[in-house]
Every structure is written in C-alpha cells, then in structure tokens.
Amino acid sequence: MENKAYIVLADGHIFEGKNFGASGCVTGEAVFTTGMTGYLETLTDPSYFGQIVMQTFPLIGNYGVIPADFESSRSHACGYIVHNWCDAPSNFRSEGSLDVFLKKNNIIGIHSLDTRALTKIIRESGVMNARIIAPGENNQKEHEESAVVEEVLKKGAKSAAFENLLSEIRSFIIKDAVNSVSCSALAIEKPAAQVFAESAAYRAVPVTEDGLKVNDAEKAAQAGKGKKIVLWDFGAKANIRRELLKRGLEVTSMKARSTCSEILAQKPDGVLLSNGPGDPAENTGIISELKKLTESGVPVFGICLGHQLLALARGGKTEKLKYGHRGANQPVKETATGRVYISSQNHGYAVVSDSLPAGAALSFINTNDGTCEGIQYSDFPGFSVQFHPEASAGPLDTAFLFDRFIDLINSTGDTHAVKS
C-alpha cells in the first residue's frame, strides 16, 4: 500500500500525492524540467545538487533504469516529483525500475499529484524552496510534520506549527555545491576507439556543422589525436568526457579546488570547464584561478557553469533567472549565422549580456527570452556556451562545438607554452 506524501512550497501551497522511492522528509529548491525523455540523465546530473526536481512530462519511468546512460555515479537531486511513474518498464536495455533506483540512492519521490498546477506556480512565482514529507514507519518527526500539514488541509487555516514549518523551508540554502559534486562523474576507462564504437551503435557519433555524421573512427579522431585536455570538473556529466574521447583526445579530470598552477603542470593543450550546480558567483576561489588560466594562453571551452565562471573571471556578471531553463527543447540562435539550434539545458543562472567586457561578444542567444547562451572571446583563445552540446538535443545539433574546440587548440598551437 502506498503512503500519503506531501510537498509544501515556501509560499504555503500544499500538494498531496503518494510516496515512491525512499521515505522521509527533505528540503530543497523546487525546479521543473520539460524533457519528455532523459529522466535518467536528469536524476544523475550533478547540476541538480540540492534541488527537488519535477518532471512536467506526465509519464516517467517507462524505459526503466539504464546505468550506461547515467551522467554520474549516483543521483544528486534531493527529491523527485512526477505525475505518474511506470512500475513495469519495458526496454531491452533496462536493468531495473525507477522506484528501486530512488530507494537505492535515498531519493524521496512523490507521484499522483497535479504537476501542471505546481509547474504554473513555479513559473509565475519563480523557483522557491519546498519540502517533501513522506513519513516512514518509525520516524516521529515525519509523522508530526505530516499531521501539521493534514490539519491545514482539513481546517483551511494555517497554524503556528505550520508557520514554523514554512520558516524552516524558507531558510534552506544550498551550500558548497560545486565541491560536493566535483569529480563524481562515471569513470570512462575505455580506449577512444571503444567509446566511438559503442557510441556509433546508437548513432551518437561526431557531427559536422553541416549536420553530417562522421562514421569513421580514424577520421573523427584525426584532428584531436595526440592532444591532451584537462577537464576542470565542477560536476561534469559523463557524456562531456565521452564526446572528448570520441574525438581522440586524452582527458584528465581535475577537481574544482585545483589551482591554475596545478592545471598548467599537466601541460594541457586545452582546458574544458564543465557544468555544475549552484550560484556561480559564490565560487570566488575558482574564479580567481580561472582568471589566471585565461592569461596563460591555453585554449578554454566552457559549458553551462563553466560558461558562467569564465564570464565572471573576465569581468562579467551573472544573475538568477526566475525559473531557469531546464529541458531538452530550448531554442538558441547563433548570432554569426542566424541559425537556430535545439539545445538541452539545465541552469538557474545566466550571464548578464550587458555586462560583457571588452574582448567578449555574444555568440548565441536564447530565442525565448533573449538571454546569453554563448560568448566568443577575442582577447584570449576561448569560447563558452550556456547549453549542453553533449546532451543529444536536436538530437545532435550542437555537438560540433567540440570540434570547434579542437580547431581552436590546433590553430593556437604551442604559443601558450611561452606564457605558462
């Protein structure tokens, strides 16, 4: 028998549903994502650290759990909300059910509630803190909180105990997000040729800017072979590493706390700044080291949080969006060509376009709200994008950006060695 569960928003809204996955109480930042597929990538994306994630698509779990598709070794979300979860998945790659996965990762889930109404509240009011209350058998505090919520629903009036609960929810802060997830991605200890062969089986091979697939492993690795990349890991998704390996690059992951000197000691031909969670401006130490790195002459490519940190290191500013961009259907326009690409995104902050310093120009914009989606730098060899070129949106629209990175490395040559 499924137990009742509740989600309480910081503004006092209450939604009743049923518990699946782990039981208990958890507080986090409630966000929604619009992806129709990719729930496994969402659940294992380190960028969701400290967040309660809601899927707007109504049916989740129908193709089960496929470890090969995980973006990290575990789930980093603290709660999960769906309208309807499938307890009998059907897929030849499935190795289990979503319910079992959530229990294993101690993620509290809630289903059978009005996710459309909940989405509208977040869309209109903005991202806010929330608590899932799903009492287990022997936890008195959980049952006490559940009783407080039930009393409000029954009487229609907020009690002092409920106001105290709201105060607790509102005071929640996501702390030390980047360092908590750095280097948590699944290790891919396979030769580049094997990674390419496995990717080719699912058509996830490199794609040129003209949309043509590169089906030959030697051709795909031709430009990148012999080049060494440092992946500065702020919570990197596994597929970023996979895209680099498919192109013949040697990849070394380094923790978020790494210094510029430690990175340069690896003698990299380029540095990729990964995605990650939290407020980019809080990472003052990383920003300081990144500024030094951009002065070394090493080519740099930033993705998502890496894009934001790079802008901050060069003197730009970031701002929190009302409800962020999360989903696999975000349209972005390249300013140089006017071409629109479909992208996958997961971020709650954005670079303020008007804050870009000299030597930085907008390269992509979001066609929905006009926010910054990419920056091209002219005062050092670097560029960045807010979206995820490795995430197979479109399905392969922007994967060519990894090839642009290799082209930048090759065109820069060894000139950075003098500065380092």
What residues pair up with 161 in beta bridges, in sequence order?
Answer: none
How many C-beta neighbours within 10 Å does residue 167 have?
A: 10
For 173, residues 6+ apart whose C-beta sits below 8 A from its C-beta are: none
Query: From CA 410, how far away is CA 389, in angstroms rounded?
Result: 20
Tokens 């030959």 belong to: 216
Query: From CA 121, how far away is CA 370, in angstroms rounded?
Result: 23
For 253, residues 6+ apart whose C-beta sits below 8 A from its C-beta are: 183, 185, 230, 231, 233, 236, 241
Does the annotation count 86 as an active-site position? no
Q: Residues 214, 216, 220, 221: what is their CA dihedral angle, to the nearest 10 degrees? A: 170
Catalytic residue chosen out of the listed positions 76, 111, 325, 388? 388
Query: From CA 154, how far away is CA 82, in angstroms rounded?
Result: 24
Q: Are 395 and 341 in contact (CB under 8 A)?
A: no
Total count of residues recorded for the chain:
420
Catalytic residue chosen out of the listed positions 71, 243, 289, 390? 390
Catalytic residue chosen out of the listed positions 260, 304, 372, 373? 304
Query: From CA 121, how far away is CA 324, in angstroms rounded?
Result: 14
Query: Per DSSP, which regions of 76-141 are E strands?
Result: 79-81, 84-85, 108-111, 128-134
Under DSSP, the state recorded for 354 is G
Does the annotation count 163 as an active-site position? no
Does the annotation count 372 as an active-site position? no
Residues noted as catalytic: 304, 388, 390
